[in-house]
Structure 1
């Protein structure tokens, strides 16, 4: 199904004083797609088009991006607010539960949603996103200093003014998708986009997360072995953070944006995972 054939709906949810735009299509079991940096809700276009014939697909612009509000002050971008944004979208759709798919910052939000509001997460799918504990450990590891240098560069004063929107969209190969992303990023707030890093990954010592509840949803993690931003080792031990069936799929030669680079394969894996009833993952008598 092509974009011209899909009846995409442009809708809004509200979390406090923040209005959140999201795109939706189709009917059936709901799947919520959470994008990362630098992306937007329609960055999931290939997945939305492929799955909307059998599912209700929902793709928000995260706060600060696209048509969603961008409240001033990076404190507005703490993870608790981002999790509540997803809950607001679910409420707007009158949903008590959904499959959650996340990439990059959307993946971090998806992990925390599954940790803090497990009752709403039917299935969890992460792209290029380690568990938050593993991610912070990777950031703190001096061996990864070059790989994560961009995170530090985003936190220095004036970093937002240095962002070049056209450059941010160069990772998208398809010209139409690249233009759509460029248009969306021009509506976005550079300060807000970098606020995610400033609010949640403070300069200096990386905080310890301590004891966290285990994720209860069946969890699928896909990642590229050539991701220039996330070390493969950050995915080690993911199963220790999940009290359910956990599958990790490495895509040899793939980079960070696997929902584009390996769109068909990724979409097939998402569908195969979410079409199973959560009860079917029970494997012990």
Structure 2
């Protein structure tokens, strides 16, 4: 880990923390999800930099050592993609390979829609492309399909989830998120709350060390969870603002990787969309879909060597 350099870069009106390793002619931009940091990519950064790539992983807006504006309206995908384009400009990179996971995958899909000229190829994990449905706002649709206690719906009210998270040790809460292997929908009734779930006994998985959990906990204890939760609170605003891109396909080469126990893969309708033609229709340059067996949501940390190899096998073609 001491090989990885850290710096603060001014982009798009904020100060962004960036981790970087390697000096190859081709660069890879890694985009993390919730509740993660640049650190989620530590294995891939070291592996791919050793193969001759320049690996770049920022803490996204609202996370870690990057600035966290207070308002959810400052966390639209236009802000986040703007941050990343600004980062590439500051680093002097015209085009990069992109690797995304969870919310980072969502941001990567939008980056490919808004600025495909900046992306050589994309390896995305966990969250498939979700084409904009012009018939209704996403949060209302989720409430209708999954109920008010669905975690995305529970995250909508500013301050509410933060208050629940504050009732439990941050390390315990993060371990609950990271080590969860239940592929069912994440539904958290208010009567139970996130704090009660986090206090349930949970075994540290073999792929996650106490030091890893401490690092995550130290950063989230300092920064809080509001920045990450604001991504969820901007979902409907993203829907409103992205109307001009309705129906637009993803036109960069793509490889998609998901675990068979991932909650996203087991969301009703997801497998059918991924495997029965819908995904390929919306992402015509989709070249490969990989489903890793007995693997849950945080795939890049749970199966680091395999994921690194899958990334390398794909991007070395270009």
Same fold (TM over 0.5): yes
Q: 1:195 to 1:225 in 2, by over 3 A?
A: same
CA apart distance, 1:161: 2.4
Q: Which residue of 1 aligns with 2:211?
A: 176
Residues 1:118 and 2:116 aligned together: yes
Match of 1:14 among 7, 10, 30: 10
Residues 1:190 and 2:225 aligned together: yes
| SS, match of residue 15 in structure 2 | strand
Q: 1:46 to 1:149 in 2, by over 3 A?
A: same
Q: Distance between the aligned counterparts of 2:41 and 2:222, measured in 1?
A: 18
Q: Which residue of 1 aligns with 2:284?
A: 243
Q: Which residue of 1 aligns with 2:190?
A: none
| SS, match of residue 72 in structure 1 | coil
Match of 2:98 among 97, 100, 105: 100
CA apart distance, 1:84: 0.6
- Structure 1 contact 36–106 (Cα < 8 Å) conserved: yes
Deviations 1:188-215, CA, capped at 9 Å, x for gaps:
232211110011147xx9x988633322
Match of 1:222 among 241, 245, 257: 257
Instruction: Flag structure 1 segments of 5+ consecutive residues without an equivalent.
Output: 278-285
- Structure 1 contact 221–247 (Cα < 8 Å) conserved: yes
Q: 1:33 to 1:15 in 2, by over 3 A?
A: same
Q: Distance between the aligned counterparts of 2:13 and 2:60, measured in 1?
A: 14
- Structure 2 contact 131–246 (Cα < 8 Å) conserved: no
Q: Which residue of 2 aligns with 1:271?
A: 312
Residues 1:156 and 2:157 aligned together: yes
CA apart distance, 1:245: 4.2
Q: Which residue of 2 aligns with 1:62?
A: 60
CA apart distance, 1:229: 4.2
CA apart distance, 1:265: 0.8
- Structure 2 contact 143–153 (Cα < 8 Å) conserved: no
- Structure 2 contact 22–55 (Cα < 8 Å) conserved: yes
- Structure 1 contact 35–104 (Cα < 8 Å) conserved: yes
CA apart distance, 1:252: 2.0
| SS, match of residue 234 in structure 2 | helix
Q: 1:98 to 1:196 in 2, by over 3 A?
A: same
Q: 1:109 to 1:178 in 2, by over 3 A?
A: same
Moved over 4 A (4+): 134-139, 141-144, 207-210
Q: Which residue of 1 aligns with 2:198?
A: none
- Structure 1 contact 222–248 (Cα < 8 Å) conserved: yes
Which range moved further: 79-88 or 130-139? 130-139
Q: Which residue of 2 aligns with 1:90?
A: 88
Instruction: Flag structure 2 segments of 5+ consecutive residues without an equivalent.
Output: 180-207
Q: Distance between the aligned counterparts of 2:40 and 2:86, measured in 1?
A: 21
CA apart distance, 1:264: 1.0
